[in-house]
Amino acid sequence: MSDTNRQLVFVYNADSGMFNTLKDITHKIVSPETYECNLCSITHGNFSMHSEWKSFINEIDFPVLFLHRNEAREQYGVTDQLPAIYMESPDGLELRLDASAINSCESIEELKERLLESISG
Protein backbone atom coordinates (compact mmCIF):
# COMPACT_ATOMS: atom_id res chain seq x y z
CA MET A 1 0.00 0.00 0.00
CA SER A 2 1.53 3.28 -1.04
CA ASP A 3 1.63 6.17 1.40
CA THR A 4 1.73 9.44 -0.51
CA ASN A 5 2.33 11.43 2.70
CA ARG A 6 5.73 9.81 3.15
CA GLN A 7 8.81 9.35 1.02
CA LEU A 8 12.21 7.75 1.37
CA VAL A 9 15.12 10.18 1.31
CA PHE A 10 18.50 8.73 0.38
CA VAL A 11 21.44 10.97 1.27
CA TYR A 12 24.84 10.27 -0.24
CA ASN A 13 28.09 11.13 1.51
CA ALA A 14 29.16 13.25 -1.44
CA ASP A 15 28.46 16.76 -2.69
CA SER A 16 26.54 17.66 -5.84
CA GLY A 17 27.94 19.42 -8.89
CA MET A 18 29.86 18.49 -12.01
CA PHE A 19 33.33 18.90 -10.50
CA ASN A 20 32.38 16.78 -7.48
CA THR A 21 30.84 14.10 -9.71
CA LEU A 22 34.01 13.86 -11.80
CA LYS A 23 36.13 13.75 -8.64
CA ASP A 24 33.93 10.95 -7.21
CA ILE A 25 34.08 8.90 -10.43
CA THR A 26 37.85 9.20 -10.47
CA HIS A 27 38.10 8.24 -6.80
CA LYS A 28 35.88 5.18 -7.31
CA ILE A 29 38.05 4.03 -10.23
CA VAL A 30 41.48 4.77 -8.76
CA SER A 31 40.92 3.92 -5.09
CA PRO A 32 37.50 2.31 -4.55
CA GLU A 33 38.45 0.94 -1.12
CA THR A 34 38.79 4.49 0.25
CA TYR A 35 35.66 5.95 -1.34
CA GLU A 36 33.57 7.55 1.44
CA CYS A 37 30.03 6.71 0.29
CA ASN A 38 29.10 3.06 0.54
CA LEU A 39 25.53 3.87 -0.52
CA CYS A 40 26.88 5.07 -3.85
CA SER A 41 29.46 2.29 -4.09
CA ILE A 42 26.81 -0.39 -3.66
CA THR A 43 24.04 1.11 -5.78
CA HIS A 44 26.03 2.70 -8.62
CA GLY A 45 28.74 1.72 -11.03
CA ASN A 46 31.23 4.32 -12.13
CA PHE A 47 28.72 6.15 -14.31
CA SER A 48 25.16 5.13 -13.46
CA MET A 49 22.79 3.35 -11.10
CA HIS A 50 22.90 -0.46 -11.18
CA SER A 51 19.82 -1.88 -12.92
CA GLU A 52 19.03 -4.19 -9.98
CA TRP A 53 18.88 -1.20 -7.61
CA LYS A 54 16.89 0.87 -10.10
CA SER A 55 14.31 -1.93 -10.42
CA PHE A 56 14.07 -2.24 -6.64
CA ILE A 57 13.54 1.52 -6.22
CA ASN A 58 10.81 1.45 -8.88
CA GLU A 59 9.02 -1.42 -7.09
CA ILE A 60 8.94 -0.14 -3.50
CA ASP A 61 5.75 1.49 -2.28
CA PHE A 62 7.16 4.91 -1.47
CA PRO A 63 8.22 7.86 -3.54
CA VAL A 64 11.97 8.41 -3.29
CA LEU A 65 14.27 11.40 -3.24
CA PHE A 66 18.04 11.18 -3.75
CA LEU A 67 20.16 13.98 -2.30
CA HIS A 68 23.83 14.75 -1.91
CA ARG A 69 25.03 15.88 1.54
CA ASN A 70 25.11 19.59 0.61
CA GLU A 71 21.55 19.38 -0.73
CA ALA A 72 20.34 17.52 2.40
CA ARG A 73 21.93 20.14 4.65
CA GLU A 74 20.29 22.93 2.67
CA GLN A 75 16.86 21.33 2.30
CA TYR A 76 16.50 19.53 5.66
CA GLY A 77 19.35 20.71 7.89
CA VAL A 78 20.79 17.18 7.95
CA THR A 79 23.95 16.99 10.06
CA ASP A 80 24.02 13.22 10.72
CA GLN A 81 26.95 11.08 9.69
CA LEU A 82 26.36 10.00 6.10
CA PRO A 83 25.33 8.12 4.05
CA ALA A 84 21.87 7.73 5.53
CA ILE A 85 18.33 6.81 4.54
CA TYR A 86 15.36 8.62 6.04
CA MET A 87 11.60 8.41 5.92
CA GLU A 88 10.08 11.83 5.39
CA SER A 89 6.60 12.47 6.70
CA PRO A 90 4.64 15.64 7.46
CA ASP A 91 6.35 15.54 10.88
CA GLY A 92 9.87 15.67 9.38
CA LEU A 93 12.67 13.17 8.76
CA GLU A 94 13.02 9.89 10.62
CA LEU A 95 16.33 8.06 10.30
CA ARG A 96 15.79 4.52 8.97
CA LEU A 97 19.34 3.41 8.12
CA ASP A 98 22.35 5.22 9.55
CA ALA A 99 25.88 5.35 8.16
CA SER A 100 26.99 2.37 10.24
CA ALA A 101 24.19 0.16 8.90
CA ILE A 102 24.78 1.22 5.29
CA ASN A 103 28.56 0.97 5.55
CA SER A 104 28.31 -2.58 6.87
CA CYS A 105 26.40 -3.71 3.75
CA GLU A 106 28.45 -5.52 1.15
CA SER A 107 25.87 -5.96 -1.60
CA ILE A 108 22.71 -4.55 -3.12
CA GLU A 109 20.82 -7.55 -1.76
CA GLU A 110 21.95 -6.87 1.80
CA LEU A 111 21.10 -3.17 1.50
CA LYS A 112 17.66 -4.00 0.09
CA GLU A 113 16.96 -6.41 2.96
CA ARG A 114 17.98 -3.88 5.62
CA LEU A 115 15.95 -1.14 3.99
CA LEU A 116 12.83 -3.30 3.70
CA GLU A 117 13.17 -4.31 7.36
CA SER A 118 13.48 -0.65 8.37
CA ILE A 119 10.32 0.44 6.55
CA SER A 120 8.05 -2.53 7.27
CA GLY A 121 5.43 -2.20 9.95
pLDDT in tens, 67-90: 999 999 999 999 889 999 999 988
Looking at residues 54-77, what average pLDDT do you find? 93
Task: Give every CB contact of residue 7 below 8 A, 6+ residues apart in sequence.
Answer: 62, 63, 64, 65, 87, 88
Burial class (CB in 10 A: 0-12, 13-18, 19+), 61: exposed
Q: What is the pTM of this model?
A: 0.81
Specify the 3-state DSSP secondary structure of 69. helix
Between 4 and 110, where is the model more confident?
110
- Confirm or reject CATH 3.40.30 for domain 7-119, answering yes or no: yes
Looking at residues 88-114, what average pLDDT do you find? 94
**Radius of gyration for the alpha carbons in the chain, expressed in angstroms and rounded:** 14
